[in-house]
Amino acid sequence: MLTTIKRIEKEFINSKDGLFFSSVRALDDSGDFFLYAKEISNTQPNEPFSGLNLCFLHDFGEHSQRYLLLLSKFISSFSTPTRILLVDFKGHGKSSGTRGHIDSLDSICRDTIAFLNLWQAPHESKVAFISFGLGGIVALKIIHLFFSQLQFEVAGLVLLNPGLKWRWRVPSLLESVVSGGVKSLKKVKLPFQIEGSLFAGDSVIAQEFDADPLINHTMTWGTFLEVQKGASTTRTSAYYLDVPVFIGISENDQLYDHSVTELFARGIAECELIHYGQAFHDLLHYFEHEKVLKDVYNWMKDKKITQNPS
């Protein structure tokens, strides 16, 4: 089903240390379906914007607000006009939709594109994606399969532990039954939970993850198979990427297979790959997260992504 997003509502929230924070909602005509996001900008709100747009796409089950403070510090170092949109996917965070279930990754891609097309202006603006886990699959599909729908130039792509292959396996018999079209089973929850210990090696961060009421700790069979299928087809897109790419991977990743990501990186014409050997899956909350953000910033500076497009 095609997206029905038609308009955006933005409300300024507060300012701090030279940054301005707003809540943003993309709605359909009825207002029944919406996507929620936060915007951080280093320029005055409600004024015409001409600069670099960043879009942060989170992993499955979680929500973008976990990264608000970290990304605030990140863009505070930008000297040119910059703003970042942190989007909650359908069924995640404060967006509408069935919790823990993804019926179609293509639908999530179209929703995100519609949101970004309405959010960024003027049309000659650049957008760089910063993605994590499942967000990496969404960003790759947008660039590879839905590029013609974008009303902006993609300046670059950051993939942090992209979800190119689950580390989990499900019984082959159950997988064949569910993927064979038994719709009643597609919304049945998998018999395990996504715990904080899978995301982070730090026990405090893991406890905060487990206690967060906005996080989906379970997923459906349909979600597992849809992400698995999307990741499988996306892995072939490496050879077609014509934008600069930064990839950060953790060798202690408990959710996705980092070796598959490394093979994927080798097929990209313009790619910088950095290993973070001591980190678990959540690169932006482990003890050296400032190094990760510094590496991303230096890469963006080197690729001239941080320059004012005007």
Over the stretch 226-281, which tens digit does the pLDDT of each residue have? 898 899 999 988 888 999 999 999 989 988 999 999 999 999 999 999 999 888 99
In a domain, 308, yes or no: no
Q: Could you list the residue range(s) of the whole structural domain that residue 260 is in?
A: 5-302
- For the chain, the straight-line distance linking the first and the last C-alpha, in angstroms and rounded, comes to 37
In a domain, 162, yes or no: yes
Give residue 156's identity as a one-letter amino acid code.
Answer: G
The answer to whether 200 and 286 are in contact (CB under 8 A) is yes
Query: In terms of pLDDT, which residue wins out, 153 or 192?
Result: 153
Report how far residue 52's alpha carbon sits from residue 39's, in angstroms, rounded to the nearest whole number. Answer: 13
Q: Exposed, middle or buried: residue 31 (CB in 10 Å: 0-12, 13-18, 19+)? A: exposed
In a domain, 283, yes or no: yes
In a domain, 79, yes or no: yes
Mean pLDDT across the stretch 272-292? 91
CATH number of the domain that residue 243 is part of: 3.40.50.1820
Is residue 291 scored above 70 in pLDDT?
yes
Is residue 2 scored above 50 in pLDDT?
no
In a domain, 177, yes or no: yes
The pLDDT of residue 231 is: 93
Q: Number of structural domains, the chain?
A: 1
Mean pLDDT across the stretch 291-304? 95
**Bridge partner residues of 9 (DSSP):** 25
Is residue 32 scored above 80 in pLDDT?
no
Query: In terms of pLDDT, which residue wins out, 156 or 222?
Result: 156
The pLDDT of residue 122 is: 65
DSSP 67: G
3-state helix, strand, coil in the chain (%, to 5): 35, 25, 40
Maximal CA-CA distance, the chain: 57
Q: What is the percent of the chain with per-residue pLDDT over 70, rounded to a whole number?
A: 91
Contacts of 190 (CB under 8 A, 6+ apart): 170, 218, 219, 220, 221, 224
Query: In terms of pLDDT, which residue wins out, 299 or 228?
Result: 299
In a domain, 203, yes or no: yes
Mean pLDDT across the stretch 23-41? 90
Q: What is the pLDDT of residues 131-166, one digit of tens each?
A: 999 999 999 999 999 999 999 999 999 999 999 998
What is the average pLDDT value for the chain, to the nearest integer? 88
In a domain, 133, yes or no: yes
The pLDDT of residue 190 is: 78
Mean pLDDT across the stretch 31-40? 90
Contacts of 200 (CB under 8 A, 6+ apart): 206, 209, 280, 281, 282, 285, 286
Q: What tokens does 305 get?
A: 């992504």
**Bridge partner residues of 22 (DSSP):** 12, 39
Q: What is the pLDDT of residues 111-136, one digit of tens each?
A: 999 999 999 876 667 899 999 999 99
Mean pLDDT across the stretch 37-54? 90
62, 66, 68, 73: CA torsion to nearest 10:
-120
DSSP 236: G
The pLDDT of residue 3 is: 59
In a domain, 307, yes or no: no
Q: Distances in Å between the alpha carbon of 284 and those of 73, 74, 94?
A: 12, 11, 21
Q: What tokens does 174 get?
A: 């159950």
Contacts of 76 (CB under 8 A, 6+ apart): 17, 18, 19, 42
